[in-house]
Structure 1
Amino acid sequence: MASIDDIFKKPVVVQGNGKRKLEQPNHDPNAFYKAAKLDANGDVKGKGKAAAVDEPEDESDFAGPELPPDFEEDVPDDEEGRFFGGGMAKETAQAMDYLDQQDQDGDSAVEKIDIAWVRRLALNFEKRISKNAELRAKFENDPQKFMGSEADLDADIKSLSILSEHPELYEEFAKLGCVASLVSLLAHENTDIAIDAIQTLSELTDEDVQAEQEQWDSLVNAMLDADVIELLAQNLSRLDESQDADRSGVYYVLNVLENLASQSSVAEKIGQDANTIPWLLSRIQKKETPVGQNKQYSAEILAILLQSAPKNRTKFASLNGVDVLLQLLSSYRKRDPEKDSDEEEYVENLFDCLTCVVDDEEGKSKFLDAEGVELAQIMLREGKLSKQRALRTLDHALSGQTGAAACDRLVEVAGLRTVFGMFMKKQENEAIEHLLGIFASLLRHLPGGSAPRIRTLAKFMEKD
């Protein structure tokens, strides 16, 4: 069989029926015999010297004399030729056979991804890290000397993402210490290395990975033991979002935080980190037009952390977070964000944060001090998208054992007219549910015989 180099590289003319070639002169006497037109005496017409007799031309003359019965060879059916064999030249068929064989050999040579493979991967990965660290220390002022090792390390980091397709190897991967090594690269001097490590962690912890709980726990616990939360927060502070690569890095950090926060105990640890919530609180205040993806994502992560643990809500309230949220939301009391935009989702995330915080006693107190009831009432009267969100927030602020002060404030600022006016109009089921929740809180918390309670009961008796 011809080699692939012989077939595709040598500048030869393929001999076969598959390729049209330059026609050569035909010197076959039989061809001359068939092509020449003969007269009755056997001379070539037009060149004989005998006198010609004028006779009507017979069309059969143009066909020449009848050929001998045994002139043409009996050609058998072309069972392997153009029509029965697919119209492919022999050399082309050989080339296709060769490529098919190579594909089969390649398939059989695919490396099996198992525990032995992970161990080899771990060994090589640790060697890459050590070599890069050694060269960086040795040639600190000559980057050209360690750039090659850095490129190799970067390639190895990216190759680890294939483990997301084999979560059954997570436990062995963690046991070998590779998870800790990968997390340690978040502190690498080269932010590109750190970002790639963060991206790999994002892929390994993604919700789409079909991992059993034990497998996921082994990975995440190893990450936590390596101080991944603290290192992620440090990268949030050192990455410069004015650079495209760093902006992507911030996104991957937020994605890892979201993945880890799917477990409430881990979400609490994230929230209790000294730098995470303060950074998120600062990021949602950054002015952007239009609202960028990372700003919206920061508000979403903040909402997830506040929903997950009471301790996180307490810390957020102590950082003056409620006042920040009210200031940010106040710009939407009469204006709606663009529909189906990052800004619209950002506003909804801010309301989610506020609703979570006012469920707790400290959050309710901060809400009253920052005049949250007054802002909610304005939104109920004048808002559009904010109206339903403000209604839900007010319902949560008035509910619970510590909602009495908020109930008094609502009556004091003439909020009864607003909520009862909404109740008399046609509303969606969710809005009716929140209105009924507000009424229940008013009747539960306002003392019997007090002026606020009497005013509330009187509203139920009004016809308009």
Structure 2
Amino acid sequence: MTSIDELFKGAGLSSSKRKLDPIRDPSEIYKSAKTSLSNPSRHAAQPPDSPEAGPAAPPDDDDEYGPSAPPAPDSEPEPDEAGDDDEGRFFGGGITRDQASVLSYVNSTDDAGPATFDAAWLRRQSLAFERLINRNAELRARYPTDPARFVESEADLDAAVRGWAVLAELPGLWGEWVRLGSAASLVGLLAHENVDVAVGVVEVVGEMTGDDVEAEDGEWDGLVDGLLEADLLGLLVGTFGRLDEGDEADREGVYHALEVVENLCSRAETADVVGRNERLLRWLLERAGRAEKEVSQNKQYAAEILAILLQASGANRRRLAGLDAADVLLQLVAAYRKRDPEKGGEEEEFMENLFEALTCLVDEPEGKAKFVEAEGVELCLIMLKEGKMSKRPSLRLLDHAVGGVGGAQVCQKVVEEGGLKTLFTMFMKKHDHQTTEHLLGIFSWMLRLLPANSAERIRMLAKFMEKDYEKTAKLAKLRREYLAKVEAVEQQMRQEFGGREPEGEEEEAEWLSRRMEAGLFCLQTINVILAWLIAEDDGARKKIEALLADHDETFRDLKVRIEEQLKETDGETAEGKETRDILSTLMDFLQ
């Protein structure tokens, strides 16, 4: 059985994913008292000696275990409940009797041996927790203008909330905890008048849902479903509105609340549920866009969660497109047209997350339309010419924007804004593999989507023919380079397979993966572009035929590779079926 000491070593409220950057020494900022007994502010006063890392053990001579009976409805609170006992709240063991009953797992002395954390223990704690909630609510209602009357019960409640952190080490009890209603009660305390209590709830939920918790998928799912049914998301949004990030403790509270949202997004189904909360999406957009002298950790975290939500599902992308997220995000990345963020800092990560969010957003037709409407094409072209760190992510963004359903309007906008000159100037220079891949992807989509005989398509084709087909010759050169790399990998793998072709799903997956790493995608894209040019223009056909002949190749070699691509293309999806039809048609021109 787990001992108390071992359990509390692992029950601290920390995140394995990221750490909150302290503004000053952490020992100075951990939940200091914020309200005097004469001033009923939103932060309840807590006696300066109160134990912060968990409740202290009761004195050895205290033999009472389990929660005390609640007071009669009409009885007045005892003197120690109101905080005016003669010897003070922290006389003796340093803990009140109610607090000891709620956190009974620390009542055992060293001689008593380790505590037993089972269903019976959980029921006792849940009952005591409910009594503390009711007692605090009763005293607040009875003495709303006299914090001295309820401050002690509030401190006990806050300690009890944080005491639930022990369950992060006991996932086997989560199902019963949810069934008993304690999970819902804990979530309900996010609406408590004292935001210190609400922040405590956030920290405990973050600890229990973190990716470092050793729980089975079913246990985690059951816990999260229970928390969501208790309106965790709605209450979290309300908590964001109550926290003032000018206050250090509140800044930490916002951080931990964002951490909870990130934890929830670790499951695709839950990320979709999170994305349905429009108030939360609006708050994230507002927080990421809030003006700051320097990009803070919370501003960056909000952008990161937006990127996570947009990656999670098409439904989330469509929802955020409807909230004009494209316009908000483009305004934020516009700051990096000519200016680079500090390398390795929060701002660099902030910029990367903004581009990631935009890149996911434009994968949906609704996102592409909003991207064009918000002048995203123009901004990307400016960054390709003038940007430094923003150049590569803006090229990737444009590559995603021009492709797929709805990409035709983006392709046309690129041509209208003079983007062909910028793109082909980049193409003629030497680049890394990633940049080349994005440029080829843009050219391929434009040839596929620009309307036949349109002015934009004619201008596009003319770029490959100008200056004695120098861009076409560059394509042929790149094809030879990628073909050599892919063929080398294919030969090596055949040797590994004993001279045979791959067999079975595992070998076929490895066959495709290693060829992709060698540049198969770029090779296939170049083959398709050359086939388009052969089909569209007699002059280009003759030029490509001559370029292939220089290396003892013919159109048949091109056709064989396109046929391989056709076989590997999934025809079950609408886009896959369309791709197969296009490849089949292009092959007819390679006779």
Both proteins in one fold, TM over 0.5: yes
CA distance in 2, matches of 1:260, 1:441: 36
- Deviation track 1:425-446 (CA, whole Å, cap 9, x = no partner) reads 2222222221121011011011
Q: Spell out the pairing of 1:214-225 with structure 2 (5 A cutoff).
A: 214-225=218-229
CA distance in 2, matches of 1:147, 1:447: 72
Provide the residue aligned with 1:18 in structure 2.
none
CA distance in 2, matches of 1:275, 1:404: 33
Provide the residue aligned with 1:450 in structure 2.
454
Provide the residue aligned with 1:43 in structure 2.
none
Match of 1:328 among 332, 339, 344: 332
- Deviation track 1:53-96 (CA, whole Å, cap 9, x = no partner) reads xxxxxxxxxxxxxxxxxxxxxxxxxxxxxxxxxxxxxxxxxxxx
SS of the residue aligned with 2:390?
A: helix
CA distance in 2, matches of 1:180, 1:429: 52
Match of 2:348 among 330, 338, 344: 344
CA distance in 2, matches of 1:285, 1:178: 36
Q: Spell out the pairing of 1:69-88 with structure 2 (5 A cutoff).
A: none
Q: 1:432 to 1:146 in 2, by over 3 A?
A: same
Provide the residue aligned with 2:299 in structure 1.
295
Contact 2:330–2:376 under 8 Å retained in 1: yes
Percent of matched pairs sharing the same residue = 52
Structure 1 residue 140, shift from structure 2 partner:
1.4
CA distance in 2, matches of 1:257, 1:303: 12
SS of the residue aligned with 1:343?
A: helix
Q: Spell out the pairing of 1:87-236 with structure 2 (5 A cutoff).
A: 106=110, 109-236=113-240
- Deviation track 1:24-47 (CA, whole Å, cap 9, x = no partner) reads xxxxxxxxxxxxxxxxxxxxxxxx
- Deviation track 1:337-375 (CA, whole Å, cap 9, x = no partner) reads 000111111111111111111111111111111211111
Provide the residue aligned with 2:256 in structure 1.
252
- Give 2:191's aligned amino acid: A
Provide the residue aligned with 1:459 in structure 2.
463
- Deviation track 1:136-162 (CA, whole Å, cap 9, x = no partner) reads 111111111111111111111111111
SS of the residue aligned with 2:470?
A: coil
Provide the residue aligned with 1:306 in structure 2.
310
- Deviation track 1:109-132 (CA, whole Å, cap 9, x = no partner) reads 121222222222212211211111
Provide the residue aligned with 1:420 in structure 2.
424
Q: 1:107 to 1:215 in 2, by over 3 A?
A: farther
Q: Which moved more, 1:150-159 or 1:426-435?
A: 426-435
CA distance in 2, matches of 1:298, 1:107: 49
Contact 2:369–2:406 under 8 Å retained in 1: no
CA distance in 2, matches of 1:420, 1:107: 79
CA distance in 2, matches of 1:299, 1:456: 36
Contact 2:205–2:260 under 8 Å retained in 1: yes
CA distance in 2, matches of 1:446, 1:151: 67
RMSD: 1.5
Match of 2:287 among 275, 280, 283: 283
- Give 1:179's aligned amino acid: A
- Give 2:422's aligned amino acid: T
Contact 2:321–2:367 under 8 Å retained in 1: yes
SS of the residue aligned with 1:241?
A: coil
In the alignment of these two chains, the number of paired residues is 360
Structure 1 residue 108, shift from structure 2 partner:
6.3
- Give 2:234's aligned amino acid: E
- Give 1:463's aligned amino acid: E
Q: 1:115 to 1:381 in 2, by over 3 A?
A: same
CA distance in 2, matches of 1:278, 1:399: 28
CA distance in 1, matches of 2:111, 2:250: 39
Provide the residue aligned with 1:374 in structure 2.
378
CA distance in 2, matches of 1:424, 1:113: 68
Structure 1 residue 422, shift from structure 2 partner:
1.7
Provide the residue aligned with 2:361 in structure 1.
357
- Give 1:430's aligned amino acid: Q
SS of the residue aligned with 1:246?
A: helix
- Give 1:453's aligned amino acid: R
Match of 1:431 among 429, 435, 439: 435
CA distance in 1, matches of 2:187, 2:246: 25
Match of 2:320 among 299, 316, 319: 316
Structure 1 residue 178, shift from structure 2 partner:
0.8
Task: State which structure, 1 or 2, has the greater radius of gyration over its C-alpha atoms.
Answer: 1
CA distance in 1, matches of 2:257, 2:230: 16
Q: Which moved more, 1:453-462 or 1:176-185?
A: 453-462
CA distance in 1, matches of 2:195, 2:454: 64
Q: Note the residue ranges of structure 1 that are not aligned, 5 or more in a row.
A: 1-104
Structure 1 residue 458, shift from structure 2 partner:
2.7
CA distance in 1, matches of 2:266, 2:330: 27
CA distance in 1, matches of 2:319, 2:111: 56
Provide the residue aligned with 1:85 in structure 2.
none
CA distance in 2, matches of 1:174, 1:186: 17
SS of the residue aligned with 2:246?
A: coil
- Give 2:421's aligned amino acid: R
Contact 2:265–2:271 under 8 Å retained in 1: yes
- Give 2:470's aligned amino acid: K
CA distance in 1, matches of 2:407, 2:173: 51
Structure 1 residue 216, shift from structure 2 partner:
0.6
Q: Which moved more, 1:119-128 or 1:157-166?
A: 119-128
Structure 1 residue 399, shift from structure 2 partner:
0.3
SS of the residue aligned with 1:436?
A: helix
- Give 1:285's aligned amino acid: G
Structure 1 residue 107, shift from structure 2 partner:
7.3
Structure 1 residue 221, shift from structure 2 partner:
0.9
Structure 1 residue 255, shift from structure 2 partner:
0.7
- Give 1:267's aligned amino acid: A
- Give 1:389's aligned amino acid: P
Provide the residue aligned with 1:410 in structure 2.
414
- Give 1:251's aligned amino acid: Y
Structure 1 residue 289, shift from structure 2 partner:
1.7
Structure 1 residue 459, shift from structure 2 partner:
2.2
